[in-house]
Amino acid sequence: MRAGHRGFSLVEILAVAALVAILLIVAVPRLMVPETLEARVPASAIAADLRMAQRLAIAGRAEFVLEFAPATPPYAQYTVRPAAGVPEPDFPKTFETGIVVNGPLQFTFRPDGSAAAGGTITVTSGSATATIAVIGVTGRVTVSGP
C-alpha cells in the first residue's frame, strides 16, 4: 500500500488470493478421509492380527486361533488366543459402528505356520469393501480391495 492512499493494490490482493489457494490445495485433501480407508484400516488390522496368531503358533509350537464373535456374522469383535487357552493381552478388539465383517468364525494356525483351513473375510464400510484371504496350506494372509 502506498503512503497516503487507502486500500490494497491489485497485486497485493492477487498475492493473498494465491497464497490462500495454495493453502486450500494442500490442506483440504488432508482433511477429507476417503471412504476406502474406512474399510481398509480394519481389514489391515485383522490381517496383522492373523499374522500375529501365525507367528505365535510358530514361536510357541502350539496352535493359535483368531476367533470372531458372535458365533454368526456380521461379527462385532475378535480375539487371538492359544487353541486351549485364554485370549492374548489387548483382546478382544471391537469393530467401530458401520463396519461389517463376514467370513469364517475362526482361523487356526498350526505350529508349522499353516492354517487348518483357508478362507476369506470381507470388511465393508459403506460402498467400500476390503477382502482378507488366508491360504490354508501356507498360512499366507493377504489384503485386497480399496
* Shared domain check, 93 and 28: no
* Shared domain check, 70 and 22: no
* Shared domain check, 75 and 21: no
Looking at every residue in the chain, the average pLDDT score rounds to: 89
* Shared domain check, 69 and 40: yes
Backbone angles phi, psi at 106, to 5 degrees: -150, 160
Backbone angles phi, psi at 73, to 5 degrees: -70, 160
In tens, the pLDDT along 96-118 reads 988 999 999 999 999 999 999 99
* Shared domain check, 39 and 6: no
Q: Rounded to the nearest 5 degrees, what angle is found at the Cα of 96, between the Cα atoms of 90 and 99?
A: 120
Say what the pLDDT of residue 143 is. 94
Please identify which residue in the block is written with the cell numbers 497516503.
Answer: 4
Say what the pLDDT of residue 35 is. 66
**How far is it, in rounded angstroms, from Cα 19 to Cα 88?**
52
Q: Look at the chain and report how many structural domains it folds into.
A: 2
* Shared domain check, 84 and 65: yes
Closest CA to 82 of 106, 104, 108, 100: 108
* Shared domain check, 23 and 49: no
Q: Which residue has the higher pLDDT, 4 or 146?
A: 146
Q: If you ran DSSP here, which 8-state letter would residue 76 be given?
A: -
pTM: 0.75
Whole-number percent of the chain with pLDDT over 90: 65
Say what the pLDDT of residue 4 is. 65
Please, are residues 121 and 135 in contact by the beta-carbon 8 Å criterion? no
* Shared domain check, 72 and 12: no
Closest CA to 122 of 144, 93, 94: 144
* Shared domain check, 68 and 5: no
pLDDT higher than threshold 90 for residue 52: yes
Closest CA to 107 of 68, 69, 142: 68
State the DSSP H helix or E strand holding residue 36, giving kind and residue range, or none if neither. Answer: helix 35-60
Say what the pLDDT of residue 34 is. 65
Structural domain harbouring 132:
35-144
